[in-house]
């Protein structure tokens, strides 16, 4: 928790100093950045100064160019800022597999704990008369992880803490209690899995997050879980899921898109301006359709028919669901307007 608060404070400090074109004094930074506190008195002021000095050194150790200066010759107290010209990275060229990895990472957080504090910092900057640059508000990354157990399992991995939960094994009538040492959370073909050491069975196990029922409870000390060296978590999930490809699909993809699909492609060929055809091995056409349907109009399954029809069914169902929601929203709005006019 302490580390999370420190990371949050440093992130907000960087955003604050990047968002200003003029130098900010220490007191302006204290008022704008969440995490420094607002208590009065000599003791609180001294504690803040010590914390700020440590944070400055840490940012410089990370290679972040902290600039010191004044806004005019009349300023007695120096201020701080981060010049965007020094902070910005040069143009980066990525290989397809690197772009796919970054695409997955960019989608990792469904609920971003830092987004609230970041928004608060930007509001305080505006209140102080400092307008952040355009685009500075879009700071909340997301991923499609809808399983209720996702955040708790991921937190257990990060904290290195034993977890307890009820798990519904396929083919068994009732869930069973499990106590595990979590090693990692892995996404495989549209599903999320927890790789862990099962303390009851004293063996490595892979748990599908959608089969965890009820709360996930952390137990014991943080940092107690040690992942064995050389552990290939993804290979464990692939072996457990029994996902050996048995069929190959041909998918027409838009150039510059669908990097996650391209990462597993066995062949790629051009198919007219702006399009390519990739060959993708798979074992279950329903799960394969889940992967492809998420790319919408950027991916069109050419063959086999079972995979193509599965994608069509998913997209059709989504369109019908969206239309139903829109109709319901319009109906509520119409009823509300009618009620207001009657009143």
pLDDT digits (tens, 9 = 90+) for 174-206: 889 999 999 999 887 667 899 999 998 899 999
Whether 86 has a pLDDT exceeding 80, the answer reads no
66-80, 153-167, 208-222, range with the lowest pLDDT? 66-80
Question: What is the four-CA torsion angle of 142, 240, 163, 192, rounded to 10 degrees?
Answer: 10
Q: What is the pLDDT of residue 167?
A: 93
DSSP letters of 245-282? --EEEEEEEETT--HHHHHT-SEEEE-STTEEEEEEEE
Smallest Cα–Cα separation from 12: which of 123, 87, 93? 123
Q: What is the pLDDT of residues 19-55, one digit of tens each?
A: 887 888 888 888 888 878 666 777 888 888 888 888 8
Of the spans 142-151, 169-178, 240-249, which averages the highest pLDDT?
A: 169-178
Which pLDDT belongs to residue 79? 85
Mean pLDDT of 117-145: 52
Q: Which has more confidence, 12 or 324?
A: 12
3-state secondary structure 210-247: HHEEEEEEEECCCCCCCCCCCCCHHHHHHHHHCCCCCE
- Say which DSSP state 24 is in: B
Return the pLDDT at 250: 95
Determine the Cα–Cα distance for residues 124 and 113; give it in Å rounded to an integer: 18
If we measure between CA atoms, which residue out of 285, 10, 259 comes closest to residue 121?
A: 10
Contact between 306 and 331 (Cβ < 8 Å):
no
Domains of the chain with bracketed CATH: 2-96+122-127 (1.10.10), 150-239 (2.30.30), 247-317 (3.30.70)
Q: How far apart are CA 337 and CA 343, in angstroms?
A: 10
Contact of 58 with 146, CB cutoff 8 Å: no
First-last CA distance in the chain: 53
Query: Do 208 and 191 touch, CB atoms closer than 8 A?
Result: yes
Average pLDDT on 109-113 reads: 43
Question: How far apart are the C-alpha atoms of 186 and 193, rounded to whole Å?
Answer: 5
CA–CA distances in Å: residue 134 to residues 18, 29, 231, 283: 12, 21, 43, 45
Backbone angles phi, psi at 127, to 5 degrees: -65, -30
Please list the residues that pair with 185 across neighbouring strands.
Answer: 194
- Is the pLDDT at 2 greater than 70? The verdict is no
- Rounded Cα distance between 66 and 89, Å, is 15
- Residue 201 — φ and ψ, nearest 5°? -90, -10
CA distances from 28 to 67, 184, 236, 240, 299 (A): 16, 41, 51, 55, 50
């Amino acid at each position: 928790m302490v580390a999370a608060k420190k990371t949050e404070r440093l992130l907000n400090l960087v955003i604050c100093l990047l968002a200003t074109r003029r130098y900010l004094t220490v007191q302006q930074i204290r008022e704008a950045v969440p995490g420094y506190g607002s208590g009065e008195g000599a003791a609180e002021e001294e504690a803040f100064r010590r914390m700020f000095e440590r944070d400055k050194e840490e940012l410089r150790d990370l290679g972040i160019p902290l600039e010191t200066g004044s806004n005019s010759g009349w300023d007695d107290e120096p201020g701080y800022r981060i010049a965007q010209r020094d902070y910005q990275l040069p143009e980066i060229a990525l290989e397809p597999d690197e772009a796919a990895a970054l695409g997955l990472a960019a989608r990792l957080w469904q609920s971003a704990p830092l987004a609230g504090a970041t928004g608060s910092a930007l509001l305080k900057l505006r209140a102080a008369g400092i307008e952040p640059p355009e685009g500075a508000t879009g700071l909340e990354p997301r991923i499609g992880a809808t399983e209720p157990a996702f955040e708790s399992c991921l937190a257990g991995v990060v904290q290195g803490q034993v977890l307890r939960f009820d798990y519904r094994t396929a083919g068994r009538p009732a869930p069973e209690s499990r106590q595990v040492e979590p090693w990692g959370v892995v996404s495989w073909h549209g599903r999320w899995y927890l790789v862990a050491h099962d303390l009851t069975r004293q063996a490595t196990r892979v748990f599908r997050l959608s089969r965890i029922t009820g709360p996930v409870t952390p137990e014991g000390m943080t940092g107690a879980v040690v992942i064995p060296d050389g552990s290939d978590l993804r290979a464990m999930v692939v072996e457990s899921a029994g996902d050996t490809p048995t069929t190959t699909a041909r998918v027409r993809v838009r150039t510059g898109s669908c990097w996650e699909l391209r990462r597993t492609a066995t062949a790629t060929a051009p198919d007219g301006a702006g399009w390519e055809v990739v060959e993708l091995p798979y074992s279950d056409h329903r799960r394969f359709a889940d992967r492809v349907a998420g790319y919408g109009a950027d991916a069109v399954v050419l063959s086999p028919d079972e995979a193509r029809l599965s994608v069509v069914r998913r997209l059709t169902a989504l369109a019908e669901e969206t239309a139903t929601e829109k109709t319901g929203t319009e109906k509520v709005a119409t009823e509300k307007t009618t009620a207001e006019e009657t009143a």
